[in-house]
Amino acid sequence: MDNGHFFKDVTLLVTHYNRSNSLERLLLAFRKLGIAFEAIVVSDDGSKPEHLKQLKEYETKYGITLVTTPKNKGLGNNINKGQDAVKTLFTLYVQEDFDPFPIFATKFSEALALFRKDESLDIIRFYAYFKYPYLKPVAHGFSEMQFSILSPGYKKFYQYSDHPHLRRTNFLQKFGRYTEGVKGDVTEYNMMMSFLQHKGKGLFYEDFKGLFDQINTSDEPSTMKRNFWRESDNPAVWFARQLYRYYKMNRDYLFKRF
């Protein structure tokens, strides 16, 4: 057990769906590292009764505030209602299948200090599948993400992600609410575009897999389903996907409003 890190003005927001064991593993990981927050909000998306029973026990065991819905309404609704329940200045958003590494307490302290110092920052990202391509070093391994529509490639658009990040609790007021009634990847895409169109500013931790581990077990696999087009490694499909993404993202950013 660490000596303890209490993060005032921060609520841990976790979105959850049918993965109560994964959620407990996440909560225990923070506890073992001595990390505590002013509040913990768990937003559940209509999980099965056996998982809801576990979540009810966590209210006492871990002091969570549980926000539920009678039926599954998708990722957008789940994040929206969870964020609505947050009362602190800052939100650490983490999905239930991530666990923090021991270094997270130190890096989160540094990130929070940068956030308090620079009020123009909207987000600080702690995890990604790839390194954001256009970065300007700031401090402590964090760099500012820089976007220009003239920069080559389509990965420049990925400034926002649903992966673990720190954000201001007024995030929805600035960038709009998450799109509801669509697939989760569309919800994430729309927020990504809104973030760019509303001139969001964020930092990216360059050791992007050094703070969190994403864990999917056979008992509680990922609930996000992706199609063949998004996942195939077939060279022809891969090339077509690159061209399509480049065209679509540039078109949407320039001509659609999010």
- Go through the domains of the chain in sequence order and give each one's CATH number: 5-255 (3.90.550.10)
pLDDT in single tens digits along all 258 residues of the chain: 446 899 999 999 999 999 999 999 999 999 999 999 999 999 999 999 999 999 999 999 999 999 999 999 999 999 999 999 999 999 999 999 999 999 999 999 999 999 999 999 999 999 999 999 999 999 999 999 999 999 999 999 999 999 999 999 999 999 999 999 999 999 999 999 999 999 999 999 999 999 999 998 767 566 655 454 556 677 777 778 889 999 999 999 999 999
**What tokens were used for 238?**
């891969």
Whether 42 and 26 have beta carbons less than 8 Å apart is answered as no
90-95 vs 98-100, strand pairing mode: unpaired
* pLDDT given at position 144: 98
User: Whose structure tokens read 């979540």?
Assistant: 55
Bridge partner residues of 139 (DSSP): 142
Q: Among 47, 198, 202, 60, which residue's Cα sits nearest to residue 136?
A: 202
* pLDDT given at position 1: 46
* pLDDT given at position 85: 98
Q: Among 164, 188, 167, 193, which residue's Cα sits nearest to residue 178?
A: 188
